Amino acid sequence: MHTGRTLAFKGQATVEALTQSVNSMTYSYTVQPFISAKGVLFSPLLIVLQEKDGKFRPVVKKNLFEPENVYVLASNSGKLTSNLVKQWFEEDFLPASNEKTVLLLDSWSGQNEKTFESFSISRKYFKVVGTTVKTIPAGTTGMIQPLDVFFFCGWCRKSLCMKEFFIDYHYCQIYNN
């Protein structure tokens, strides 16, 4: 397997991994799709990349490919911060949502119901439109969160197959010429 990724459920005592470089295992990023209950993927897809000081350096910004349907942000950790969640909520979620919207949140403190209630715009919006906010219980995300259980599973499988194919294909091209 070429992926270099190791997954485990929360609380697992030991997760073993083999790597050529410890630094290659420390880069972090977040991919947050915006998906309806019917399985429709909305644009844009949110990607948060890990960058020093939470900002893209000029050379990175200059060379960063940003398609119209992808919204790329930076943070120190590659994880969503409360400020980035607010930015996503106001610029992506609100314009795309409508009546009877359910916002299903992780129990992570930077992206939970209390965080959203602290945004003045969300308090008004939830009352006017009738958005219901639900929170996934802590420690169960990997087992019941719809994106983790259904969406990312297929996405990762396709991505892995493509990655394996191109690595193997490239290997064959190099050694067969």
pLDDT of residue 67: 87
pLDDT at 94: 76
Q: What is the pLDDT of residues 111-141, one digit of tens each?
A: 766 777 777 666 666 665 667 778 888 888 7
User: What is the rounded distance in angstroms from the CA atom of residue 65 to the CA atom of residue 15?
Assistant: 34
Checking if the pLDDT of 166 tops 50, the result is: yes
Residue 160 banded pLDDT, cuts 50, 70, 90 = low
- pLDDT for 171 beyond 60: no
Arithmetic mean of pLDDT over the chain: 74
Distance between CA atoms of 79 and 28, rounded to whole angstroms? 7
Q: Return the minimum-mean-pLDDT range out of 22-26, 93-97, 144-148.
A: 22-26
* Joined tokens for residue 65: 């490919």
What is the pLDDT, as a whole number, of residue 142? 74
Q: Parse the chain into domains and list their residue ranges.
A: 27-170
Global confidence as pTM = 0.64
Q: What is the pLDDT of residues 3-43, one digit of tens each?
A: 555 667 777 878 777 666 665 566 678 888 887 777 778 88
